[in-house]
């Protein structure tokens, strides 16, 4: 666990296509001061710009992706892969400028974001990082699906999926998460979908930019259509873990605890996070204590950060 907040050392930009809109889009990442959090500068329909904080309180939709803002105005869809990259690498403070309504899908994973941030590097800031420490179990269920937070000494994810399609089946991934684990196990896992769903999604205005360049596609014969195959034998559950990391990054601070889910998705992730944050007895904000002879003292409780989830 790192004690201090970070931002990027310099501005960096990426361009690509929105996976659902099919429209070209550019995104710019700008270093930010300590205690800023992650802020999206989004265009309103009248050409003005509105700041939208990357917080669960700003989530506007969870249909096949996580979106921030108001669909009728300032709006950013498909933020989860970017937010996973920020969380996975430990980037606390950043301004994100988007010239469209959707974060570019790039290769369908978080790998391109990671590469871009590595190019400019991270700057350590002289302000302590605050964490959300889970104090008691919090669980939410939706049919056969469920998600829960449990107390834990680090940051851990235990994600399980269960699809009838034999190309996926039942898969599980569990690990304590740090930057090295994220880079190795999670960052390159791509989004996925089924060929049989394509026409229905197109009719509903989704997946207009999806292709074999940015999605793992499963054919009607339950075979992987992508010529290169899978990046991991269990890439599907790793991508679901990536999604969960991105959705939970909207807490306003990284959490200390174990997040577990079964047959989860964006909506369930958001519901679980909202359930946790709605119970002030279920968590506390902490930061690293003082150092004595090079040894860090235990975490100590602190006031909520200015970008806490319920602060609008």
- Which amino acids are annotated as binding site, given as ranges? 81, 239, 243
Q: Where is the binding site for Zn(2+), in residues?
A: 81, 239, 243
Residues known to be catalytic: 266
Q: How far apart are CA 283 and CA 308, in angstroms?
A: 13
């Amino acid at each position: 666990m790192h004690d201090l907040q970070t931002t990027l050392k310099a501005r960096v930009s990426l361009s690509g296509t929105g996976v659902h809109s099919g429209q070209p889009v550019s995104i710019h990442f700008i270093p930010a001061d300590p205690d800023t959090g992650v802020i999206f500068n989004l265009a309103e329909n009248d050409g003005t710009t509105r700041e939208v904080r990357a917080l669960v309180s700003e989530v506007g939709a969870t249909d096949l992706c996580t979106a921030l803002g108001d669909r009728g105005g300032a709006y950013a869809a498909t933020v989860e892969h970017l937010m996973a990259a920020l969380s996975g690498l430990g980037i606390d403070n950043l301004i994100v400028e988007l010239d469209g309504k959707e974060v570019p899908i790039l290769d369908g994973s978080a790998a391109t974001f990671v590469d871009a941030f590595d190019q400019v590097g991270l700057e350590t800031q002289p302000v302590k990082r605050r964490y959300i420490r889970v104090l008691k179990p919090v669980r939410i269920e939706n049919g056969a699906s469920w998600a829960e937070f449990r107390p834990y000494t680090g940051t851990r994810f235990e994600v399980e999926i269960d699809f009838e399609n034999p190309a996926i089946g039942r898969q599980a991934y569990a690990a304590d998460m740090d930057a090295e684990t994220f880079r190795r196990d999670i960052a390159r896992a791509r989004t996925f979908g089924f060929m049989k769903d394509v026409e229905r999604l197109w009719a509903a205005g989704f997946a207009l930019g999806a292709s074999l360049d940015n999605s793992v596609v499963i054919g009607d014969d339950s075979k992987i259509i992508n010529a290169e195959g899978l990046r991991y034998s269990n890439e599907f559950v790793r991508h679901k873990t990536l999604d969960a990391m991105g959705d939970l990054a909207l807490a306003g601070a990284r959490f200390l605890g174990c997040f577990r889910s079964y047959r989860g998705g964006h909506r369930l992730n958001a519901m679980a996070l909202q359930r946790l944050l709605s119970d002030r007895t279920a968590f506390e904000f902490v930061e690293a204590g003082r150092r004595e002879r090079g040894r860090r003292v235990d975490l100590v409780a602190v006031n909520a950060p200015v970008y806490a989830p319920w602060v609008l």
